[in-house]
Structure 1
Amino acid sequence: MRFSAQEQIAMPLEEAVIEHRVVGGVAATTEGPAQIDVMLVAARRDMILASLAPLRAADLEPVGVDLSAFGMIRALADEFAGVSTEETLPATRPATLYCHLGDATTLAVARGRSCLFTRVSPVGLEDIAGGLASSTGLSPEHAAMWLNHVGLGRPVEEVEGDPGTVARTRAALTHGAASLVDELRMSLDFYAAQETAVAVERIVLGGPGGAIPGLAEEMEPQIGLPIAVGRPAALAGYDAATAARLALPLGIALDV
């Protein structure tokens, strides 16, 4: 594994922390040997040690370091992939693109609970709210509140509030949705070009951005795949905005 990893990781192995997980494969046939599909995760050792130092200084003993993408999948896969364990799935089963829209956007292609591809895009709510704050003089916090208030699900004439602010908020959301669609398309195209890529059949939108009314419906026809808003069943008792904010922490807290 370490020999193969050196060809894929853009850092010296002695400076990296490496972990892997088997996510699939095919049995041997008369036409060729068995193959194993592996998800490889690597991070710079000094970055990990710096993150763990405050915990150890507080006499806490870390038991693991997780990825946001993995937590997002664990929180939502039971509902959208129909699995609750690391069961083996047919190689032909389509995958789902999970999209956690926060300050940045975490993307992960998964089949069942197995993550096949992940990346983090800088395009997210921070960009959208920041642009709105610049054009209106609102604080970033108030701009984020306006995004949820105005949304994309009803005519601007029906939205309460200052008409100018409502109009600028709607424009920021429309532009932001288009930027997110571009990011999703680019990620899907990059993933599809991989030799072991699995067809993606749908997108699940989560995180604080998933609670913005009408955002999924705005993006769906532009990207050409069905988009559902993810909300873990365990958070059903919370309002939409709170459930969206807690989905990722819930997934991180779940046992693998």
Structure 2
Amino acid sequence: MGSAHVIGLDIGTTAVRAAELEFGGSRSGQSATLVRYGEVPLPTGAVRDGEVVEQQTVGTALRQLWQQQKFSTKDVVVGVGNQRVVVRELELPWAPLTQLKASLPFQVQEMLPVSVDDTLLDYLPTDEVDGPSGRMVRGLLIAAPRDTVTANLLAVEAAGLRPTMVDLNGFALVRALHRAGNTGRIAAYVEVGARVTTVVVAQGTTPRLVRVLPMGGQQITDAIARTLAVSQPEAEQAKRELGLEGHGPVQSAVTEVTRGLVEAVRNTFVYYQANHPGRGIEVVVLSGGGAHLPGFGQYISSASRLPAVLGDALAGITIGKGVPSGRMQGLESLVALPTGLAHGVAA
């Protein structure tokens, strides 16, 4: 088999980001080369809580991104993930995976807050066990509102791109970040975006829990802007320079919002531990722009009593000649979603 090019597309609150990976004959993660990467900012309100609101605005940004980076194809793997996407553990009688997936509408219709007709369903098996009624499969049910997925796909298609696969952002995080010394460990991956924080607990490459929290770094910027009565750019600069290590009203504003976010993350860890005794989390891997808040890593480590490190989505990936020298320096923890989405085709 020859090389294959796959583009992972992350539609975030503040920007669209795309990474083109070239895979060798086996498409294994170790043979991946980053051949192109780029991002284009989005205006406020174009994407809200992980869902595209202004399809033409996002489509225009995507067209600009493709014109700038000269990606080799218009085929893309698109990520989704917000609070409306339900991910929960589900045990089913054993059957081939195709049959399990076909049975989901009948198995889960009482579990969902909306009709299965309005929901896209998928299932990720994680274990097989022997139950009182025989062989069982444990796994994660993924239930995504059809209108959420459709809104994102329409924006992609408005740019003339072709979605070949839709993947869960949480799964992409694990694929992107597990290679940096986390293989085989039970790790909690925490991606702090602008308005949404994704938390995934995984054992090696197998996700065990996925939660999406409706808060992120933009809420901290908003709090500083209100407290100091300054513009968003000024508040963003103060956040990046001072963070949790500042003094006075800035630190108070940052701490108040960050405390709520960290508490929600910690509660997610506690929930996981309670449902998976004997398989405790060993490390917290941070990614996303919000994870770069000065003092955030120390704060979450202290609150969870776990070591916290910045993730490296480029570990094991060769940087191609087409990527300008130094272009990816400092972006290792910021490109987890687009690179992880590209890896999904090889999974």
Q: TM > 0.5 between the two? A: yes
Is the 8 Å Cα contact of residues 189 and 286 (structure 2) preserved in structure 1? yes
Q: Which amino acid in structure 1 is aligned with residue 286 of structure 2?
A: L
Match of 2:309 in 1: 228
Match of 1:21 in 2: 124
Picking from 80, 102, 113, the partner of 1:10 is: 113
Write out per-residue CA displacement over residues 105-162 of structure 1, whole angstroms, 9 at most, x where no aligned residue. Answer: 1111111122221121122111111000111122223322222211345xx5xxxxxx
Tell me: CA distance 1:223–1:55, structure 2 relative to 1, closer, same or farther (3 Å).
closer
1:78 match: secondary structure:
coil
Unaligned stretches of 5+ residues in structure 2 = 1-102, 320-325
Tell me: CA distance 1:81–1:193, structure 2 relative to 1, closer, same or farther (3 Å).
same
Distance 1:66 1:142 in 2: 35
Match of 1:108 in 2: 200
Structure 1 residue 54 displacement after superposition: 3.6
TM-score, length of structure 1 as denominator length: 0.78
Match of 1:214 in 2: 295
Match of 2:261 in 1: 180
Tell me: CA distance 1:208–1:219, structure 2 relative to 1, closer, same or farther (3 Å).
same
Distance 2:312 2:292 in 1: 10
Distance 2:258 2:329 in 1: 23
Write out per-residue CA displacement over residues 32-59 of structure 1, whole angstroms, 9 at most, x where no aligned residue. Answer: 8443221111112233223322434554
Task: Give the number of the structure whose residues are more often strand, by fraction.
Answer: 2
Tell me: CA distance 1:151–1:51, structure 2 relative to 1, closer, same or farther (3 Å).
closer
Distance 1:253 1:18 in 2: 21
Match of 1:87 in 2: none
Tell me: CA distance 1:15–1:177, structure 2 relative to 1, closer, same or farther (3 Å).
closer
Match of 2:223 in 1: 131
The higher relative CO (CA closer than 8 Å, separation ≥ 6) is in 2
Tell me: CA distance 1:252–1:144, structure 2 relative to 1, closer, same or farther (3 Å).
farther
Match of 1:97 in 2: 188
Match of 2:341 in 1: 252
Match of 2:161 in 1: 60
2:282 match: secondary structure:
strand
The alignment yields a C-alpha RMSD, in angstroms, of 2.8
Tell me: CA distance 1:231–1:212, structure 2 relative to 1, closer, same or farther (3 Å).
farther
Distance 2:272 2:318 in 1: 31
Q: Which amino acid in structure 2 is aligned with residue 82 of structure 1?
A: T
Match of 2:59 in 1: none
Unaligned stretches of 5+ residues in structure 1 = 84-93, 157-165
2:336 match: secondary structure:
helix
Picking from 143, 147, 170, the partner of 2:239 is: 147
Distance 2:107 2:273 in 1: 22
Distance 1:195 1:6 in 2: 26
Identity of aligned residues (%): 27
TM-score, length of structure 2 as denominator length: 0.59
Write out per-residue CA displacement over residues 52-80 of structure 1, whole angstroms, 9 at most, x where no aligned residue. Answer: 22434554331111222112111111114
Q: Does 1:49 align with 2:150?
A: yes
Q: Does 1:243 align with 2:324?
A: no
Distance 1:141 1:249 in 2: 26
